[in-house]
Amino acid sequence: PTAHHLDAWETGARLFNAGLYFQAHEIWEFRWRHLRPPDRAQVQAAILVCGCFVLIGKERMEPASRLAVLATVRFSESAAEAELFQRRPRLELPGSDEALLRVLAKLRSGEMDAEKILWESRSLRAHVRKGE
């Protein structure tokens, strides 16, 4: 990734960590298609996580559930690519897999209280790993 990508990812991480998921999504959306593995799948997963949390906030639980599933798939792809290419992604969201599974469990059990579901998002912190 270029310095421009890293700056944008850091801005997105600050927004994500502040709970401003739509704004983080908008920042991270920029040029993810041109990234190499494992960064491409990881950034795509982060964008999907943001979309999921935005939809939960709007109480649109079914589409949020679909995005959560897609995000877990992208995180798995990123992990497999990191193993294959021996290179960790630069944008990291530690614990996101487990948090998304808890969110999915709540959504699938019929939980409709957006605040209860979004509680899981408070434990997630995005950061950009320096260096290669």
| Domain-located, residue 87 | yes
pLDDT of residue 100: 85
| Domain-located, residue 53 | yes
What global pTM score does this model have? 0.90
| Domain-located, residue 132 | no
pLDDT tens for each residue of 72-121: 999 999 999 999 999 999 999 988 888 888 888 888 888 888 988 888 78
How many structural domains are present in the chain?
A: 1
Domain extent at residue 74: 3-121
| Domain-located, residue 129 | no
Q: Dig out the tokens for 87 from the structure.
A: 């290179």
pLDDT tens for each residue of 36-61: 999 999 999 999 999 999 999 999 99
Q: What's the mean pLDDT in 57-73?
A: 93
Q: Are 110 and 120 in contact (CB under 8 A)?
A: no
| Domain-located, residue 63 | yes
Q: Is 35 helix (H, G, I), strand (E, B) or coil?
A: coil
